[in-house]
A = this chain, B = another copy of it.
Amino acid sequence: MNVHEYQAKEIFGRHGIHVLEGRVVRTAAEARQAAAALGGPVVVKAQVHTGGRGKAGGIKLASGPEEAEAKATDILKLSIKGFPVRKLLVTPAVEIEHEYYVGAILDREDGLPLMMVSGEGGIDIEEVAAKTPEKIHKLHFDPDHGLRAFQARELAHKIEPNGRQALGIATLLVKLSKAFLAAGASLAEINPLVRCADGTFLALDAKLNLDDSEVALRKDLEALRDPDGSGGHTDKAREFGLSYIPLEGDIGCVVNGAGLAMATMDLVKHFGGDPANFLDIGGSSSPAKVVAALEILTADKHVRVILFNIFGGITRCDHVAEGIVAALEQTHIELPIVVRLTGTNEGRGREILEESGAAIFAGTMEEAVQKAVALAAGTEVKG
């Protein structure tokens, strides 16, 4: 789960990292007030769950309240990579002496958290990493304790020649690693970390990605979720434990398991179709989950056919069949439904569906996908 810059800064600040006092606003008028309260020039920043805000025009400098209001008006009209801008962060503008990059990430290959730092921070850090990888310094750290003070100093001395300033960076790195661990994060990043004219260090931007599994176990993290951050469909999906990502196509897919769901979408494309979504109903299915999945898909007006591809393991085919029947009883679904059911309780599942006469059967994944593609293209298909 992504959290906004202002939320990340609040969390980093709680761990003793120096962040600028800022105001979160939702309207241009509020942006004006915020700029007036802060005084001096300010920066108005779009709060959306995506990167590349600067290049998209989502971050603007304003000399004072009036300009802040004007810039806020512009930014609130934007939609950045599909995310409409609904919140802004207004912070004082600062004089920057130097920009660093610091970031903690969970390194899945080595199974340990990793701290990465560079003396050349800013928006071009990925280019620095690609062209001059020797300018990025990395060190794994302990998942219980965070970066040790000596490790932090080793990294800091590599990116800052001045001894006293390096110690300042080292202190910050320890705090960042602790914030990362405390949030059970998958990423905690400050880019740029800036050194101000007075020698202090400041997190000018902040990025925090949380581990969804951690969020599911902790109310304090769940409270950080932005209800505006995504469409209503994914909220409903989350409520029922479904993993759902809407796409542009017309074949609504309901699959159990992320790998099989991706393979099903690949196969839809392979046979010339266009998937309307990624939807994984997960392991332990229940009829209610299937009903919810059908409700989400039928709400998408692009969808012309619904394709079930179920290979039962923990998921029981009879539960899926019951869910389809229940959904059809509750709401009138006009769309054709192609169903492939194999695995646990497969026989019982088929029976239930056959009794209801609601679905077009397919014996294999290939057959099911081909039938769905044909139906979406308007071709007649026999059940």
User: Footprint of B on A, CB under 8 Å?
Assistant: 144-145
Contact = CB atoms under 8 A, between A and B. Distances in A.
Contacts of A144: 144-145
**Count of this chain's copies in the oligomeric assembly:** 2
A145 B145 CA distance: 11
Nearest to A142: B144
Contacts of A145: 144
2 contacts: A144-B144, A144-B145
A217 to B, nearest CB: 15
A183 to B, nearest CB: 19
Nearest to A144: B144
Nearest to A145: B144
A146 to B, nearest CB: 12
Nearest 2 CB-CB pairings of A with B: A144-B144, A144-B145
A168 B145 CA distance: 30
A38 to B, nearest CB: 35
A145 to B, nearest CB: 8
A46 to B, nearest CB: 41
A145 B144 CA distance: 9
A333 B368 CA distance: 104
A59 to B, nearest CB: 41
A112 to B, nearest CB: 16
A212 B77 CA distance: 62
A144 B144 CA distance: 8
A178 to B, nearest CB: 14
A113 to B, nearest CB: 16
A136 to B, nearest CB: 30
A145 B143 CA distance: 12
A361 to B, nearest CB: 47
A9 to B, nearest CB: 28
